């Protein structure tokens, strides 16, 4: 239902976000070394590699993990490079083959002896050595998040292959996983240098806050990336497309809905922050750090979206000032 539109207006999500952001002082060094690392595997053409470097994924790490040290930031940059590798390989695969690709990554993370001879396996095994500082409970949950991500990538490939647009609720569940946001949240134990036991991390209030923060990132990403995706003919994996179908909205109505829902999620997150129980002074201090890390992702993702050329190209400052997005022509 977007064909009659030549532009749409973004809701001002920054105005709904009370968190403060920053950038990591180690970004330049960590980004350069991580880029060199992925380039050394020679898995991409020069064009693909240039596209990735221009996409700003490592800059995203600087925004959302601004509080962490050099080694931890470098590890996060390596992880987004790995995700890009998996995404690029699976983009041209059907659901079954995409799942097989993903499980090479999972097997390499789980078993240091696993080796199928692939470049992806070599990358994953090298990356695994950078996770030694993560506490056991956080590492276990991180692996589970990675498995859920891989399963979701396979499902997304199937839906893309068959042109299937999910209803709102199943799409929300899929998007949390195939966006890889939960896997990135899974790195908090590493970036904070803290472990969090399952009974705390999985507490109902903590989990509600976790999912609210993840959804704020996913919904805002889909809002900002819609123009780029529609120009490439990619429609099935975006919340605006889902809302237009499920709620019988036009494009502007779907964009407005994202703004309304973002506020609902933010209000829920802030109310739950007040409801957190106490686990004792030491554990409460850890919990506060994990909450801060979630907040850093929400605001960092918003700030990065208007700094990277990934979504709005050379017009990003104008879009930020006016909130008006002029739709790109369809690419042939």
Pick from 35-39, 89-93, 117-121, 183-187: least confident: 89-93
Domain ranges of the chain: 25-321
CATH top-level class for 25-321?
A: mainly alpha
Strand runs labelled E in 124-222 = none
| Ordered alpha helix ranges (H), the chain | 27-39, 46-55, 57-64, 70-91, 95-110, 119-128, 136-162, 168-178, 181-185, 188-192, 198-201, 204-231, 239-246, 251-275, 281-305, 309-312, 316-322
Residue 297 has pLDDT above 50, yes or no: yes
Is the model's pLDDT at 332 over the cut of 60? Answer: no
**Backbone conformation region of residue 163, classed left if phi is above 0, alpha if psi is from -120 to 50, else beta:** left
Cβ-contact 16, 266 below 8 angstroms:
yes
Model confidence at 34: pLDDT above 80? yes
Q: What percent of the chain has pLDDT over 90?
A: 75
The mean pLDDT of the chain is: 92
* 115, two tokens: 């080796």
HSE (CB half, 13 Å, CA atoms) of 108? Answer: 23
Q: Which two tokens stand for residue 87?
A: 């995404």
C-alpha R_g of the chain: 19
On whether the CB atoms of residues 12 and 220 are closer than 8 A, the answer is no
Tell me the backbone φ, ψ of residue 8, rounded to 5 degrees: -150, 160
Cα–Cα distance, 20 to 38 (Å, whole number): 31
pTM for the whole structure: 0.94
pLDDT in tens, 118-169: 999 999 999 999 998 899 999 999 999 999 998 888 888 788 888 899 999 9
Give the tokens for residue 18.
């009370």
179 pLDDT exceeds 80?
A: yes
DSSP per-residue string spanning 192-207? HT----HHHHTSHHHH
- Asked if 24 and 64 count as a contact pair (C-beta separation under 8 A), the reply is no
At 286, the pLDDT band (50, 70, 90 cuts) reads very high
Q: Is 102 left (phi over 0), alpha (psi -120 to 50) or beta?
A: alpha
CA distance 98 to 326: 33
49 or 27, which is more confident? Answer: 27
Report the run of H or E that residue 51 belongs to, with start and end.
Answer: helix 46-55
Which tokens sit at 278? 């106490």
């Amino acid at each position: 239902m977007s064909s009659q539109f030549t532009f749409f207006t973004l809701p001002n999500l920054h105005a709904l976000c009370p968190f403060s952001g920053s950038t990591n002082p180690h970004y330049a060094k960590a980004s350069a070394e991580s880029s060199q690392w992925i380039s050394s595997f020679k898995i991409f053409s020069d064009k693909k590699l240039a596209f990735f470097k221009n996409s700003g994924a490592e800059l995203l790490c600087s925004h959302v993990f601004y509080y962490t040290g050099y080694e931890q930031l470098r590890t996060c940059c390596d992880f987004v490079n790995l995700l890009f590798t998996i995404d690029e390989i699976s983009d041209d695969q059907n659901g079954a083959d995409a799942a097989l690709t993903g499980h090479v990554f999972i097997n390499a993370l789980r078993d240091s002896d696993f080796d199928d001879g692939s470049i992806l396996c070599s990358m994953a095994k090298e990356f695994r050595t950078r996770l030694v500082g993560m506490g056991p409970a956080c590492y276990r949950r991180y692996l589970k998040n990675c498995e859920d991500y891989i399963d979701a990538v396979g499902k997304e490939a199937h839906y893309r292959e068959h042109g299937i647009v999910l209803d709102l609720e199943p799409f929300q569940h899929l998007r949390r996983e195939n966006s890889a946001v939960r896997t990135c949240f899974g790195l908090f134990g590493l970036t904070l240098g803290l472990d969090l036991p399952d009974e705390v991390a999985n507490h109902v209030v903590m989990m509600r806050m976790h999912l609210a923060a993840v959804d704020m990132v996913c919904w805002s990403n889909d809002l900002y990336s819609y123009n780029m995706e529609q120009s490439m003919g990619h429609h099935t994996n975006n919340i605006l497309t889902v809302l237009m179908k499920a709620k019988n909205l036009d494009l502007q109505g779907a964009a407005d809905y994202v703004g309304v829902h973002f506020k609902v999620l933010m209000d829920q997150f802030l109310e739950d922050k007040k409801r957190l129980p106490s686990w004792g002074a030491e554990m409460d201090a850890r919990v506060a750090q994990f909450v801060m890390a979630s907040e850093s992702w929400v605001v960092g993702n918003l700030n990065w979206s208007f700094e990277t050329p990934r979504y709005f190209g050379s017009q990003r400052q104008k879009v930020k000032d006016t909130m008006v997005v002029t739709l790109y022509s369809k690419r042939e």
